[in-house]
Amino acid sequence: MRRRIRGAATALCLCAGLAPAVTAEAAPHGPLRPLPLERLFDNRAVSDDARPGDADFDGAGGSLSARDLRAAGWTPGRSLGVDGARLTWPRTEPGQRDNVRADGQSVRVRGRGDALAFLVAGTGGEASGTGVVRYRDGSQGSYRLTAPDWRSGPPATKSVTLPHINTPGGQRAEKARLYVVTVPLVRGREVASVRLPRDPGTPDLHVFALSVRARTTGWTGSWAASTAGYTAVGPWSDRTVRLVVHTSVGGPRVRVRLDNTFAAAPVRIGGATVAVQAAGAQARGEPRRLSFRGRAGTEIPAGAQAFSDPLDFDVPADANLLVSFHLPGPVAAAPVHSQALQRSYVSGPGDHAADGSAAAYTSTITTWPLLTGVDVGGGPGSVVLLGDSITDGTKSTPDANRRWPNVLARRLLSQSDVPRYGVLNHGISANRVVADRYSGDGVSTDTGGVSALHRLDRDVLAQTSTRTVVVFEGVNDVRWGASADQVIAGLREIAERARARGLRVVAATIAPCEGESLCTAAANARREAVNTYLREGGDFDAVLDFDAVLRDPAHPARMLPAYDSGDHLHPGDAGLAALADSVDLRKLVP
């Protein structure tokens, strides 16, 4: 049976030695003075494994394991970077109040940004409710917050999964999950306070942390890759990974982003460098040391990310960089982008991040583990290309940077009619709009990623200085049996969510693929229905007709042979160049 503790504040402070909490009962009476979130905590979610009865997260005695949280790197007071936001895990000990059940409490929050980030979970089912944001200029707006259930919520969108649930009767090998959920803010306005959703219903909506996700200024995304899965690697221990990535725009400063997405344990970065590639693993000049909050290395908790500190370094446009990082401890699995189409390198034992020579780098890999972004100082912002294998570059020439995003980036660099945006390639081979290929939990051989809907916040909305998103997905959905209505609904949701964050949203029609085994007549009919919606629906700010670019005029369900890589699904280099060359650059401008 669920228990909701309501009553006098003095009744709530009898344990853990904390100051009296503002009660949920007090919320409806009179004006509320905004308080820091921790002053509002009224629930105990975390217990020591030896004393599971000290916490009751769900009203039935269930709680999170403090040991599991520590093993994931989620220690009390730890600052966590997730999807571009910084959130602090409660600075409390097991058995103390560490979260608030949303019921209209007023929280003191300050800052300007594009979104509010909530660290949440529901108990008793998915929990939703409507809250209010108050701005310093006196205006206010409502928001809708949904917290997936801590036990049954989708693994694809979770921030961390813990392997156990504590109960008064003992620990159970059942997974528990926590989520970071963002909601849009009015850009340019400073937040003064946030009213949590009022008693959202039967399920409890628990909030552990809340912050304003600051809008990125002074940086442009130059290179990016999506985490496509969590796979076995190496295993590596005391090895240095040297990844080769290709910039779009250049700039006078650099920072890199490392993501421990989907992981169950922290990863330790001993040190990291950046350099311009000379050839292979050899650097042009001496690699420059990166730092993380003033330190040579960093530990990235499970599900979190880390940005390096700004470094004065001339990043050339349209060039290969070497980003190297030392892994001092054992790493047997890691988040990866699987289809790098680029050889990168792993050293023998030792920290070789600062080596200009290639001598220590004795093996090669064709994935990008951990590294998800390279930003440069200044610039006009970035265009994100959200796609599948065609955007990822499958069937393009390896090590040649002939993906259509690369060609588009070179077009932008060579003109002056529109801003020279950075181009961020967030294509994942085998990805779909509405279905997950990778579940989001555990080590897997499938690297088709979670769905475009489930990765939208991480791969688009949280990207550095995004101005426009181009959505080019759907062929895998229709090939694997999704209905046209399902794909259309997914694309419409992407457009609505991106536009709510102030982005320009451009769609590309689905390319023809007759002749590939899953591109049946029924799949083609679904493809054509989606394309008709894209051309006529009006949900997007602009449409790129990639279907018209690639199709054979004499047989429109089939790709023009000159553009076909040979598998009838993926364009080769010529077809990818034709896509990029067909883009009206003015359609990318907000």
**Residue 513 domain-assigned (yes or no):** yes
- Higher-confidence residue of 511 and 202: namely 511
Domain end, chosen from 213, 242, 275, is at 213
**Residue 223 domain-assigned (yes or no):** no
Domain end, chosen from 181, 213, 245, is at 213
**Residue 296 domain-assigned (yes or no):** yes
CA angle, residues 80, 455, 86, in degrees to nearest 5: 15
C-alpha pair distances (Å), 122 with each of 48, 175, 178, 196: 21, 14, 9, 14
Mark whether 199 and 241 lie in a shared domain: no
Domain end, chosen from 213, 243, 277, is at 213
Q: How far apart are CA 358 and CA 356, in angstroms?
A: 7
What is the per-residue pLDDT across 146-166, written as a single tens digit (0 to 9) for each? 999 999 999 999 999 999 999
Q: Which pLDDT does position 215 carry in this prediction?
A: 87
Mark whether 182 and 40 lie in a shared domain: yes
Mean pLDDT of 494-504: 96
Helices 404-413, 573-582: crossing angle, 10 deg rounding: 40
Q: How many C-beta atoms surround the C-beta of residue 359 within 10 A?
A: 12
Mark whether 413 and 545 lie in a shared domain: yes
- Whether residue 10 is predicted with pLDDT greater than 50 in this model: the reply is no
Mark whether 437 and 465 lie in a shared domain: yes
**Residue 168 domain-assigned (yes or no):** yes
pLDDT confidence band for 428 (50 / 70 / 90): very high
Average pLDDT over the chain, rounded to whole? 94
Mark whether 351 and 415 lie in a shared domain: no
Structural domain boundaries enclosing 264: 231-367
Hey, which residues does 131 pair with through a beta bridge? 143
For the chain, give the percent of residues with pLDDT over 70: 94
The CATH number assigned to the domain holding 414 equals: 3.40.50.1110
**Residue 386 domain-assigned (yes or no):** yes
Q: Which pLDDT does position 521 carry in this prediction?
A: 98
Task: Please report, in angstroms and rounded to a whole number, the separation of the first and last CA atoms in the chain.
Answer: 52
**Residue 63 domain-assigned (yes or no):** yes
Local structure of residue 457 (DSSP, 8 states):
I
pLDDT confidence band for 67 (50 / 70 / 90): very high
pLDDT confidence band for 20 (50 / 70 / 90): very low
CB 471 within 8 A of CB 491: yes
Mark whether 236 and 329 lie in a shared domain: yes
Mark whether 75 and 195 lie in a shared domain: yes
Q: Which pLDDT does position 201 carry in this prediction?
A: 67
**Residue 92 domain-assigned (yes or no):** yes
- Higher-confidence residue of 72 and 30: namely 72
Token pair for 528: 């054509």
Mark whether 201 and 273 lie in a shared domain: no
Residue in the block written with tokens 């290929």: 437
Count of domains observed in the chain:
3
Closest alpha carbon to 303 in 406, 203, 178: 178
What is the per-residue pLDDT across 260-273, written as a single tens digit (0 to 9) for each? 999 999 999 999 99
- Characterize 208-221 residue by residue with b for buried, 16 or more Cβ atoms within 10 angstroms of its Cβ, and e for exposed: bbbbbbebbeebbb
What is the per-residue pLDDT across 304-350, written as a single tens digit (0 to 9) for each? 999 999 999 999 999 999 999 999 999 999 999 999 999 999 999 99
Mean pLDDT of 280-309: 98
Token pair for 548: 């018209």
Q: What is the 3-state secondary structure (H, E, C) of 83-94?
A: CCEEEECCCCCC
Q: Which pLDDT does position 16 carry in this prediction?
A: 29
What is the per-residue pLDDT across 543-588, written as a single tens digit (0 to 9) for each? 999 999 999 999 999 999 999 999 999 999 999 999 999 999 999 9
Strand duo 100-101 + 204-213: pairing: antiparallel
Residues 6+ apart with CB under 8 A from 50: none
Q: How far apart are CA 80 and CA 90, in angstroms?
A: 11
What is the per-residue pLDDT across 357-392, written as a single tens digit (0 to 9) for each? 999 999 999 999 999 999 999 999 999 999 999 999
Strand duo 239-246 + 127-135: pairing: unpaired
**Residue 373 domain-assigned (yes or no):** no
Mark whether 165 and 313 lie in a shared domain: no
Mark whether 165 and 293 lie in a shared domain: no
Token pair for 22: 């503002």
The number of angstroms, rounded, from the C-alpha of 384 to the middle of its chain's C-alpha atoms is 13
Mark whether 173 and 304 lie in a shared domain: no
- Whether residue 25 is predicted with pLDDT greater than 50 in this model: the reply is no
Mark whether 267 and 362 lie in a shared domain: yes
Q: How far apart are CA 382 and CA 224, in angstroms?
A: 11
Cis amide bond preceding 197, omega within 30: no
